[in-house]
Structure 1
Amino acid sequence: METAYPGVSIIIREAFTRQSLEPNTIDIMISSLAVATLKQYNCAYKKWWHFCTEKEINFFHMDIPTILNFFTILFNNGASYTTLNTYRSALALIFGKSFSEDNRLLRFMKGVYKNLPSFPKYHTTWDPNLVLDFVAKWYPNEDLPLDVLTQKLVTLLALSTAQRVQTLSKIRLSNIKTSTDFIEIVIDDIIKTSVYGRPAPKLTIPFFINKEQICPAKILLVYINVTNQYRNDLQNDYLILTTRKPIHNASSSTISRWIKSVLTKSGIDTSVFSAHSTRHAATSSASRKGVSIDVIKKTAGWTGNSLVFSKFYNRPLPVVEDLTFANAILDE
């Protein structure tokens, strides 16, 4: 009879215990892993657990040929390069650095990429003006229902700051400072890009006096005023709240769903573009309009030497850019 899979936390704890680490030390080390990472690793460990049980192999024994056999089975069953890379990271956590640097494993992963290349998710992006023109119709802000007001707010924040949805979910009222020309928000929660020694992200949101219909700073102040009535019984001061009772702070997935809904209503093909694509659209639009790469990186939360924007985010608009070369050759 197959032994029941014990779960990701127990697996990691046992692996660290086998490395002669103390329980309190292990607690600290496990806390370094994000919830999303634990979910990804859980899937990897579960499949490795069933494979080891079936083959009567010690789960914690590192044998490269056996692990490559496991990876080969996954690959033949349709696992992508990204999936296998996640599994490699998960097993490296319990097997150590020597596993991830093994030449046979590295050669196998190169072969996976050659056979099944992993390309950036988007080759083009969409024009933010499509969304801005749509949400501009939702005005005046004070008259909007709470759900519409909230959807407009999170969409404008996503576009004007180019931040991840997770970052928006961590905005606290106590960290919002308003001046005459702009609103400044410091994010002091731990987020995906948080690293020791790196300053906390700071969002700067200008007031657009001549474009009040789409002014993110203006709608932010309206939103705070409208939602004050719901905050008396809350145990935290997170800005963005759910729109249905019981009211509580909105999760990243909820905010993503709201943004995706606005994109759909604006005519964006959300079968292709997710809520995260606001980051692509905003940064690419800024680049096309001449904003320096340094400013784009700083605004979006990338480090100065990061190549993420150039490799994965800077995308042209469809059609128009694609026709540039042919038009230059054929037009007289």
Structure 2
Amino acid sequence: MACTDMVADINTTYCCTMPSTSAPSGHPYVVPSTGKETPIKKDEAGAFSLIRKALEDRGISNEAQQIIINSWRRTTRKQYQTYLKQWFHFCEGKHDPFKPLVATVIAFLSHLYSKGITYSAIGIARSAICEFDKITSNVDLSNNNLISRFMKGVFNTRPALPRYKEIWDVRTVLDFLSKTENDTLLFLAGKLSMLFLLLSAQRCQTLHLICLEDINISDERLIINTSHLLKTSKPGRHQTPFLFDSFKSDKRLCIVSVISEYLQRTKDLRNTNKLLISTVKPHGAVSKQTIWIKLIMHRAGVHKSFKPHSTRAAASSITHMRGVPLQTIIESAGWSNAKTFAKYYDKPVSNTNGKSMQAIIDIAN
């Protein structure tokens, strides 16, 4: 599958091909074998310590307890903990949080609704309570008709509408990147981040997790292996390697050239094996929140209402508009099927005209 297709329609300067398991040799950054274990720290706080205790009472070993707790991603555990803490406070002295009445659950969700909490957040609270009670007390409320009916009412009165009705034109950013020199490490890091996200239609999480050993680079091609647990990873389905061909028409928009320059300029600064490092001392690994996408978008003139995650919709929407096969887009972005793209990411592109469309087609040629 070709990223050339993915970004063919993004600007006409690059060519990227994905996925492929073959890798060029002769470079110090090599693609590792698959199967690297992603460590997950124990979460002993609040509700999850009670879940651990309930599992222990059932005769589950400590090792198995941790594996079961790791079935929830760290971000999910954090979200659940927020609402379970409120749930315990709501039930304190009045209700049993372990074996609650349906009326009590609905009262709590109604309490959140009265505080202005969104439909999606109330849905997280509901899931947290259902998962907690299912584990600790073997009480399953997940398919309760009354609770489901309540949630439908919440949606009808407070619908979860899409954040964007249309998406920005990637040419706006590519034009800016093409005309701006890599005069500072900050800008170079931002350019590398933006090019990767536009060429792959991936999340910032993917970029944040890339390590030096995941990279295989030559003069003509860049391969980035994805040996990490991503949000879209599922049993039996994992993101294939990203393969980008060099774009010789404009080195300022060639991700192979940009990452080579970035690695060279950071070689004597870095104290971490993560690809992206801080631009200030001690030059450690950066967090997802630090990745400089918003800075590039702002300097390029993208409206401030668009968040960094909008790069995913911007890249996939423009390529779909230009006729790139839907399967290519789905595989590159890591979606399991076309429904996710159609429901959340396929947007009309704002300020698009014939000239910009021709420029995007040229990129792939």
TM-score bracket for this pair, using the shorter chain length: 0.7 to 0.9
- 1:212 alignment partner in structure 2: 251
The aligned runs of 1:52-131 (5 Å cut-off) are: 52-53=91-92, 55-96=93-134, 98-131=140-173
Asked if 2 retains the 8 angstrom alpha-carbon contact of 1:71 and 1:84, the reply is yes
2:332 maps to what in 1?
A: 299
- The match for 2:322 is 289
Q: Please tell me whether the aligned partners of residues 172 and 187 of structure 1 are also in contact (alpha carbons under 8 angstroms).
A: no
**Where do 5+ consecutive residues of structure 1 fail to align?**
1-5, 322-332
Which residues of structure 2 form unaligned runs of 5+?
Answer: 1-44, 354-365
Deviation sequence 1:103-159 (CA, Å, 0-9, x none): 1111111111111111222110000111111122222x4xx2211111111111111
Task: Using the TM superposition, name which of 176-185 and 40-49 deviates more.
Answer: 176-185
Q: How many residues were matched structurally?
A: 305
Q: Structure 1 residue 70: deviation in Å?
A: 0.7
Larger proportion of helix: 1
Q: Does 1:33 align with 2:69?
A: no
Q: Separation in 1 of the partners of 2:259 and 2:83?
A: 41
Matches within 5 A, 1:1-332: 7-17=46-56, 21-53=60-92, 55-96=93-134, 98-139=140-181, 141=182, 144-179=183-218, 181-231=220-270, 233-234=271-272, 237-255=273-291, 258-270=292-304, 272-303=305-336, 305-318=337-350
Partner Cα distance (1:66, 1:21) in 2: 30
Cα pair 1:284 1:313 within 8 Å, conserved: yes
Note the C-alpha offset of 1:62: 2.9
- Determine the C-alpha separation between the residues in 2 that align with 1:174 and 1:102: 48
- The one-letter code of the counterpart of 1:146 is L
Deviations 1:32-70 (A, max 9, x none): 2222112211111111011011x5222212321111011
Percent of pairs with identical residues: 33
CA contact (8 A) 1:176 1:185 kept: yes
Q: Structure 2 counterpart of 1:103, which letter?
A: N
- Matches of 1:92 and 1:178, distance apart in 2: 47
Q: Name the SS for the 2:277 alignment partner.
A: coil
Task: State the distance in 2 between where 1:11 and 1:132 align.
Answer: 51
- TM-superposed deviation, 1:15: 4.5
Shift of 1:263: 0.6
Q: Which amino acid aligns with 1:265?
A: R
Instruction: Give the 3-state SS of the residue equivalent to 2:192 in structure 1.
Output: helix
Asked if the contact 2:313–2:346 (Cα under 8 Å) also holds between the matched residues in 1, the reply is yes
Distance in 2 between the 1:320 and 1:145 partners?
A: 31
- Cα 1:49–1:18 change in 2 (3 A) is farther
Aligned residue identity for 2:141:
F
Check the 8 A contact 2:95/2:104 in 1, yes or no: no
Letter paired with 2:146: R
Deviates more, 1:24-33 or 1:258-267: 24-33
Q: In 2, Cα distance between the equivalents of 1:312 and 1:34?
A: 22
- How far off its partner does 1:168 sit? 0.4
TM-score normalised to structure 1 length? 0.86
* Cα distance in 2, alignment partners of residues 19 and 109 from structure 1: 32
Question: Equivalent residue of 2:179, what SS?
Answer: coil
Letter in 1 for 2:238: P
Q: When the two structures are superposed, what TM-score results if normalisation uses the length of structure 2?
A: 0.79
Aligned to 1:324: none
Report the more deviating stretch, 36-45 or 21-30.
21-30
CA distance in 2, matches of 1:217, 1:204: 10
Give the aligned CA root-mean-square deviation in angstroms.
1.9
Question: Is 1:16–1:94's contact at 8 Å kept on the other side of the alignment?
Answer: no
Deviations 1:168-221 (A, max 9, x none): 011121121224542111110112112222234311222110021211121011
Describe the shift of the 1:127–1:208 C-alpha distance in structure 2 as closer, same or farther (beyond 3 A). Answer: same
CA separation of 1:205/1:152 partners in 2, compared to 1, >3 Å: closer, same or farther?
same
Of structures 1 and 2, the one with the larger relative CO (CA 8 A, separation 6+) is 2
Query: 2:298 & 2:85 partners in 1: Cα distance?
Result: 36
CA–CA distance in structure 1, aligned partners of residues 306 and 197 of structure 2: 14
Summarize the Cα distance change of 1:288–1:226 in structure 2 as closer, same or farther, 3 Å threshold: same
- In structure 1, what is the equivalent of residue 19 of structure 2? none
Between 1:218-227 and 1:58-67, the stretch displaced more is 58-67
